Structure 1
C-alpha cells in the first residue's frame, strides 16, 4: 500500500514523512514530494482560485500527477485533488487534508468513487483563537495605529475611537459560530472577565459561561462581534447592512474566518460613516487588497495579511494529528476527522484496504 504526501511552502514534505512514519508499521510505503511554488504569493493565488472556483479551477503540475498515479492514500494541505487527479488514480481509497477546510478537494466526486476524505479539524484552532484575541485588543486599544505612528515619527494621542476606548472586563463579546475555534476564543476571553454570548444553530451544548442567543440579539448586545463560522451558501454575506445596523456605534467587528461572510461594501459604509467604532480583519475578498482597497483606506480598522492560522506549531503538527485518525481504518474504526462519514460502513464492506 502506498501513501503519497504532497508538501508545500507551509508544511514541507519532511514533516509529512515524519508525521506518517507510524503507518509504515502497518505496511504502508510513505513517499513524499513538495509542490514547487515560486513563493507565497503564487500559493495565495491558487488558494483564491480554488476558494472562488472550486477544486477543478486548478490542475496540479504533471510531476505531482505522476507521483500520485498509483497512490492508495494521498495527503495534501493546499494542493488541489480534483476530478482530473482522482480519475487518474485507480487505486485511490483515502484522501487526507492537513487542515480543516477542504475546498481544494472534489469531495463530491471522491465520494461518488467510494473514496474516504479526511480533514484535520481544529489543527490551527489555538493559533486562530490566540490571533483573534490579539486583533480584538489591537483594534480597540489602537496598538497597531500607535506602533505605525511611532515608526513614522508621530506621537499620536488622539485616535478615531478616543471617546470609546474600552476596558474589557464587563464588556460583551458575541461569537458567531461555536465550533472549536469559537469555543477556544470564548475560553480565552473569560480570562478578561468578559460576558460571552454566542450564536450557532448547530450548537446544542455549550460551556456554562456562554449564553446562546439569536443572531439579531447578538448583534444588538455585543461590544465586540467575532466571526467563527464556515463559509457555505447559507453563510455567505450573512453580515450585511441590516445586521451591521443593529450593532452599537461603540462596537467592533472582528473577522479571522472567511471574508465572504461579510458584505465588504456594507462594512466599509458602516465604518466610514462611524456607525461602528472599528473593525479588525485578517481576510479580504481580494488578497492582497492593495493600498487603494476601500477598507485599507479607512482609519478605524486594523488589518493583517491572512495570517491568523499561521503558527509553526499549527502547520508542523498537522501530520501527527491526522495520521492516527487514518490509522484507525486498520481497526475498522470511524473518526471524527472523516468528512464523508456516510460512506464509512459501505466502504468497510467493499474495501480491501486493511
Structure 2
C-alpha cells in the first residue's frame, strides 16, 4: 500500500536550529506521471544545511522547506510515464534536480533540494525521475547518502572541464579533511594521480595518508604551503588541480601551488573572508584557470557512481549515526565540528 503520511522536518523561519520543526504526519505529494516515490533510508548533512535555518544561505529558498539535499533510498512506486526506474530500485538524489547535463543555468539553479525544493530529511519523497541516479551496488544506504553534494562537487572539480580533466600521473592539491576534500583524495588516487594534501594536525595527516595522500603538509607548521606543494611536483612545475575550499584566506597559497594551465576549482570559503586577497591579475600571472562550481550534473553523477562501483570506493562516514528524530542534535554535532568525514542520518528502516 502506498503510504499517505511521512515523518519529516521543515525549516520554519531563520532563528537558528530552533527553526527546525518535526512533523510525524507530514503529507506526501501526489505522484505525477514522470515522478518517483522514494522511501528514504538515509541522508547526510552538508554545511549548507546548517546555515539555511540561520538565514545565511545565498541561493533560492522557499518557506517551510523540507531540508536535506543528500539521500539514498528505495523506489516505492512510479508514475505512468516513468522509464528510468521501477519499484525496488535503489537510488540516490541529485542535488540540483533540473541539472541534467552541461552548465548550470538560471532554471536548473532554482531546483536545489532542501532549498528551493523539498529535500531528503523525511521518510518518503516524490522526485522527478530525472533527479535520481541509480545507487552504486557496492555501497550501503548510509554510504550512498553522502554522494549527492560533496562527492559530486569533488568529481566536478577534477573532471568538470573536459579539456583539463584529471589524467593519470598528474598532481592534485586538496585542503583539509572535509567531505569534498576527502572524496577528491579518493577519486584522484583511483585515477592514478598523485595527491598533496594539507591539514592542521598530525592525527588528520595519518588519516589522509591512509586514504592515499602521497604527501601531507601541515599548514600551521608551513604557512607557505603553496610553495612547498609546488616543490613536491616533478621539476617544481606545480600541481594540475587545486580543490580550493578555504576561499580568500587560502587562495594566495593555491596560486603559488598551481602549475601553468592548471585549474583551481573554488567550492567554498570555510576560511572566511578577508580584504587582502588575490586579484584577477593573479590568474594571468600564474597562467591558470580559476573556476567556481556548484555541485554538478546528473550525467557527471552517473559517471562518478560508475567509477565508485568499478574501483570499489567507499565514502568516509563518521562513526556516529543519528536517528531522524534527533536531527537537531545532528546539526549541533556537525556545527561543533565533532564529525570526521560525512555525517549521516538514518531516516527510514
Shorter-chain TM-score above 0.5: no
- How high is the TM-score relative to the length of structure 2? 0.41
Larger helix share, 1 or 2 = 1
Give the TM-score taking structure 1 as reference length: 0.40
